[in-house]
Structure 1
Amino acid sequence: MFFSLNEDLTATASRNKILEFKKWVLDIGDGTVPAIAKDGEIEETWIKIPDELLIEPEQDPIEKIVTSTYPLFEEMQGNTEYLKERAILTPKNETVNEINQYMLQFVPGEKNHYLGSDSICKASSNIPDQDNLYLVEFLNTLEFPGIPNHKIELKEGVPIMLLRNVNQKLGMCNGTRLIVTHLGTWIIEAKIITGSNIGTKVLIPQIVLSPTESK
């Protein structure tokens, strides 16, 4: 059996790069990364991101970050290893929606639309006729961290991520990543691609979710 020295050095450099990034992220969380103050500011609250971690802005920033994270997406979208080792994280649901809509156009097949059934918890308020005060159309526009938007568009073959613990025995936990294999009217079939249950097909039912922001 023969090994390429260049390949071995490349793999080592890649691991070292990942370890450096991991340490940098942990240092940010620990507050040990040196902070700076912008012109006119006294308190040092800004952290400089290393240039090698930045994607230079272009005319279409969504296209830029997608092509940088998912090169050759149209050719590789059926590759499970390719999909599970990549992810785009954003601080706002609005940006998540933009990225999802952009990438969905490159996945073949028809889109399925899933709508949430939004209502006010009857135990959360003693105000009479609250249904008349908070119309369903208004509730549908609200967005909360950790809660899917009122409308979700999916196609068979797209990667998704669970936001709740559904069935830990089957590996359906918060953060589990899956590939959609079938879109039903009331249920979604998907194949797990991360964790200890890789390859297992599971069913994702309708789930009742409540935001932590009660107000």
Structure 2
Amino acid sequence: MTSLNGSVPLDPVSAAIADSGLVAILRAPSATMFAAVADVLVAAGVTALEITLTSEGALEAIAGLCRQLPDTVRIGAGTILTEDDAKAAVDAGAAFLVSPVSVPIAAGVPLYPGTFSPTEIYAAHRAGAPLIKLFPAGGLGPAYLKDLRGPLPDVRVLPTGGIALDDIPQWLAAGAVAVGVGGPLIGDAASGGSLTALAARARHAVDAVRYARS
């Protein structure tokens, strides 16, 4: 499969994430509720989950979700900062890794580095990153990405951080291959909040992707 912007083919995991258009980011003081949250997200149609290593029990949660969820759901690890982080996450079963910064890590699975400026984004693209995390994206807005992709049409950008559910269509229209959404989607569900409310937000997010691509 080729990327959404006509560049070289993506690996299967990154292609699946690009096709889905959405990565749900699970971050909480403890990963205790992640299994229940993941069930709700997947039932609503979310097929890519990022488990942040800053959550206590994250590695155990990744391993558990890999056993719990269908093979069609991609389970990744976020907040990867070191080679040790990457190895532990991959050993737990992570199919992709996400970092808030750009770090030279050989992971054995797709690694999506964090970038902010055009120079950082282009450097990550030249280094072969299949998807490039734009972080924090909320303060920049979709117009930033649209302007960026004028001179850099082949970059595959995954905006993350401060993206409201209602803004998902604008980001995808601006050229994002997918968006990463944490707090606006998960809310307080990972800390014992309403799973019913989570289900409604998840359906909203999935519908926003479908609307943008219809």
Instruction: Place the TM-score, normalised by the shorter chain, in its bin.
Output: under 0.3
TM-score (ref. length: structure 1): 0.25
Structure with the higher fraction of residues in helix conformation: 2
TM-score (ref. length: structure 2): 0.25
Structure with larger RCO (C-alpha < 8 A, sep 6+): 2
Greater Rg by CA: 1
